[in-house]
A = this chain, B = another copy of it.
Amino acid sequence: MGARKMAKKEIVVREEILGSNKKIAADIRARLEAAGVLVVNLLSSPGSGKTTLLERLVETLKPTHPLAVIEGDIETERDAERIRRKGVPAWQITTGGACHLEAKMVARIIPEIPAETQFLFIENVGNLVCPASYDLGENLRCVLLSAPEGDDKPKKYPAAFATADCLILTKSDLVPVLPFDPERAAQEALEINPRLRVFVTSALNGKGIAELVRYFIESRANLIQRQRHA
């Protein structure tokens, strides 16, 4: 929450919530790492294309890699239904007003995830601000930025980009008809966070999906390697 002047009581309560969230997230991460599951937390504004990207990832991964999806929204089961239609287990968390997922909401679902699962994708509530403060036990945090949103967004909403491992530029098929420069967007994000892996994608024409899937598969292989040597 940075420089906003908050009441002292508000700060204390907020720190308690984040502290408790961090503990639950660490526990989720430990349990799923031990089970060989790579957890990916997808963050973005509403309408950046998280669910459509997930549909493409599911189609590409499903034949060879068992996966599961948790969908976060304020209301409606719509997104989980879209994923289930692809034949993949999906759980919908509706926050009933809250602007982000918290680790405790995810923790309740963990016991239901099938034993063979290799990847768990968590689609956060559409919000480029608040979800950045909440660790959900993920191994990779990916922030999406769609071409129609504009290439000036990273510096205006820096926390999501600062805390992410990868930046997925989506809807790149629209670049020809929009004043959006993927280079500029990537450059701004890299100035905030130089270790970001950047992917330019289009769920419509498939651009960048194979590279992204490869990145997730490699990240899981590294995770399992680390587990073996731990």
Distance in angstroms between the alpha carbons of A127 and B160 in the assembled complex = 13
- Write the nearest CB–CB distance from A16 to chain B, whole angstroms: 7
Question: Is the CB–CB distance between A99 and B98 below 8 Å?
Answer: no
Instruction: Indicate if the CB atoms of B126 and A126 lie closer than 8 Å.
Output: no
A1-50 residues with Cβ-Cβ distance < 8 A to B are 1-4, 7, 9-10, 13, 16-17, 45-47
Could you tell me the dominant secondary structure of chain A's interface residues? Answer: loop
Given contacts A45-B46, A156-B75, contact A127 B148 (CB under 8 A): no
Is the beta-carbon distance between B13 and A157 smaller than 8 angstroms?
no
Interface residues on A, range: 35 or more
CA distance A74 to B96 in the complex (A): 25
Contacts of A198 in B (CB 8 A): none
Query: What sequence of 0s and 1s flags, for each residue 172-215 of chain A, a beta carbon within 8 Å of any chain B beta carbon?
Result: 00100100000000000000000000000000000000000000
Q: Let me know if A113 is at the binding interface, CB within 8 A.
A: no
Q: Is A149 an interface residue (CB 8 A)?
A: yes
Q: A10-B13, A99-B99 are in contact. List 14 more A-B contacts (CB 8 A).
A: A1-B96, A2-B95, A2-B98, A3-B95, A4-B96, A45-B128, A46-B149, A47-B149, A47-B153, A74-B156, A99-B129, A129-B130, A146-B148, A177-B177
Q: Which residues of A contact B (CB under 8 A)?
A: 1-4, 7, 9-10, 13, 16-17, 45-47, 73-76, 78, 94-99, 125-130, 146, 148-150, 152-153, 155-159, 171, 174, 177
